[in-house]
Amino acid sequence: MKSKSLISINDFTKEEQIQILDLASYFEKNQNQRIFENYVIATLFFEPSTRTRLSFESAVNRFGGKVIGFADTSSTSVQKGESLKDTILTVSNYSDLIVMRNPIEGSARFASEIAKVPVINAGDGSNQHPTQTLLDLFSIRQTQGTLDNLHIAFVGDLKYGRTVHSLVIALSNYNTTFYFVSPTELKLPSSVKMVIKEKKLTYYQSTNINDVMSQCDILYMTRIQRERFSGPLEYERVKDSYILHKEMLDNTKNNLKILHPLPRVNEISEDIDDTPQAYYFQQALNGVYVRQALIASILGVK
């Protein structure tokens, strides 16, 4: 994995993904490290973020590294018309690794092809979010003790949800049974469904969340993403499609855990936060350990 970029979850083999999860488990219990000293990591966020940017920066800082970058482009030369190519070539000179979020699909792959240092995709439009996938896999393994043969339900915006796309592709390696719950206009893209079909895995589609509650080990809730819609009317029509309430957890499996990449809007009612099923804030914390493991693997400093 040394010096490799991570743009799509398939850039790392199943074995490489597992190595990162194992290293993250080690780091979870061994935070007293200075292995990123002498390294500078650039975080370039062309699109808003709380968890991804701050957990990357926390991951680097906790292991003694330095962070440069921007949380938005308002104070950068992008405002003067500088191209992505020139920005990446410039920042390559200043850092050992670039973490980039950009609203344009394919921008992260482009950046990795021209950068002189490895690039990590922190989300490119509706395409992929592979580091979220690694922390989702880590969280699933933590809560279920395995990644194999699980029943996993995805609920919400499955069309634009890049975290869903990457995670479904990764879980196709583990004999997962999938349940997809979404409004008709926000169904999982056929390109992602094709991956499941090629692996001959079972999947079910529904518009009703109650169809899946009693069957799943993991309930992966997602936000309906206002920023991906072409107009407010289209968003208004579907924005409240799924709201998970505490009483909906009756008659679910004992091992059920609720994940959410966050941020949430209203799709998980706050009275669920204190239930044993809620795991989304721990999931966000797991992002620090997983990103430490990923950076260490790419820098070759584990």
Q: Is 262 left (phi over 0), alpha (psi -120 to 50) or beta?
A: left
**Residue 259 to residue 144: CA distance in whole angstroms:** 12
Shortest separation between residue 55's beta carbon and ligand CP, angstroms:
8
Tokens representing residue 256 in the block: 């059920």
Shortest separation between residue 261's beta carbon and ligand CP, angstroms:
4
- Per the annotation, the verdict on 2 as an active-site residue is no
With 0-12 CB in 10 A as exposed, 13-18 as middle and 19+ as buried, what is 242? buried
With 0-12 CB in 10 A as exposed, 13-18 as middle and 19+ as buried, what is 84? middle
- Per the annotation, the verdict on 246 as an active-site residue is no
In 9-117, DSSP assigns E strands to 40-45, 66-70, 97-102
* Cβ distance to ligand CP smaller for residue 49 or 241: 49
Q: Which of 43, 53, 129, 177 is catalytic?
A: 129
The binding site for ligand CP (CB under 6 A) comprises: 49-52, 123, 132, 261-263
Q: Helix, strand, or coil here: 120?
A: strand
Shortest separation between residue 32's beta carbon and ligand CP, angstroms:
26
- Per the annotation, the verdict on 129 as an active-site residue is yes
Beta strand 40-45 pairing with 119-124: unpaired
Q: Which of 43, 53, 87, 101 is catalytic?
A: 101
Q: Which of 43, 52, 177, 222 is catalytic?
A: 52
* Cβ distance to ligand CP smaller for residue 121 or 241: 121
Shortest separation between residue 50's beta carbon and ligand CP, angstroms:
4
* Cβ distance to ligand CP smaller for residue 101 or 177: 101
- Per the annotation, the verdict on 51 as an active-site residue is yes
- Per the annotation, the verdict on 151 as an active-site residue is no
Shortest separation between residue 43's beta carbon and ligand CP, angstroms:
11
- CA 63 to chain CA mean position, Å: 22
Q: Which helix (H) or strand (E) holds 235?
A: helix 232-238
* Cβ distance to ligand CP smaller for residue 65 or 261: 261
Contact call for residues 60 and 67 (beta carbons, < 8 A): yes
Catalytic residues: 51-52, 80, 101, 129
